[in-house]
Structures are given as C-alpha cells and as structure tokens.
Amino acid sequence: MGLDLLAKYPEHQVMLVSGEKCMQMTNEELNGDAVAVTWVGGDSAIAYTDWTPLFKRKVNYCSDADETGVNAMRKIFDLIEKSGTGVSADV
C-alpha cells in the first residue's frame, strides 16, 4: 500500500511501516517530506508482497514493537538488501 505515493514522489525517502493505520498517521506527520508505505496481510504475508518498488529507494524500516513485527521487518530488510538494490537501512 502506498504505491501511488512512491510513484508521485520518486525522490522521497521511504518509511516502511506495519499496517494501514500506521501508514496513514505517519504520512500525516511526515507532511510530504517523506512517504510511508506498508504491505497487505500483516507480518505473515511478507513473502507474498512485491518489494521491487522499494528497490533503489532510501528506506527506513519501522517495525511494530513486538517479536513478530521485528522479525517481519528484518525479513523484509533481507529481501530488499539481498537483492543488491537497497541503498540504505535503519531497522
């Protein structure tokens, strides 16, 4: 979710967050200085998401504060960074 924002702001830094509500609130707080995106299906659905729109983007990874959230974000980080196209990371 948030592909429209990635397309609209191709040079903006990205904050990858968990959940639509968090994405909406984060985008309100960022006020256009960066874009927040998320994925559909929660922590157990990361393998079913196309992460290529985040390749070659500066991404900050902001997980939920529970074990499943942290583990999911680490897996996403690995998927993007191991592709050889990730350019930055804060997990």
Is residue 19 situated within a structural domain? Answer: yes
Q: How many domains does the chain have?
A: 1
Residue 55's pLDDT is 87
Full domain range(s) for residue 14 = 3-81
Is residue 11 situated within a structural domain? Answer: yes
Residue pair 20/1 in contact by the 8 Å Cβ criterion: yes
Is residue 68 situated within a structural domain? Answer: yes
C-alpha to C-alpha distance for 48 and 54, rounded to whole angstroms: 15
Through-space distance between the first and last CA atoms of the chain, rounded to whole angstroms? 20
Q: Does residue 88 or residue 81 have the better pLDDT?
A: 81
Residue 28's pLDDT is 94
Digit-coded pLDDT (tens) for 25-74: 999 999 888 999 999 998 889 989 999 999 888 899 999 889 999 999 99
Per-residue 3-state assignment (H helix, E strand, C coil) for the chain: CCHHHHHHCCCCCEEEECCHHHHHHHHHHHCCCCEEECCCCCHHHHHHCCCHHHCCCCEEEECCCCHHHHHHHHHHHHHHHCCCCCCCCCC
Evaluate if residue 90 carries a pLDDT over 70: no
Residue 80's pLDDT is 87
Is residue 56 situated within a structural domain? Answer: yes
Residue 11's pLDDT is 92
Is residue 26 situated within a structural domain? Answer: yes
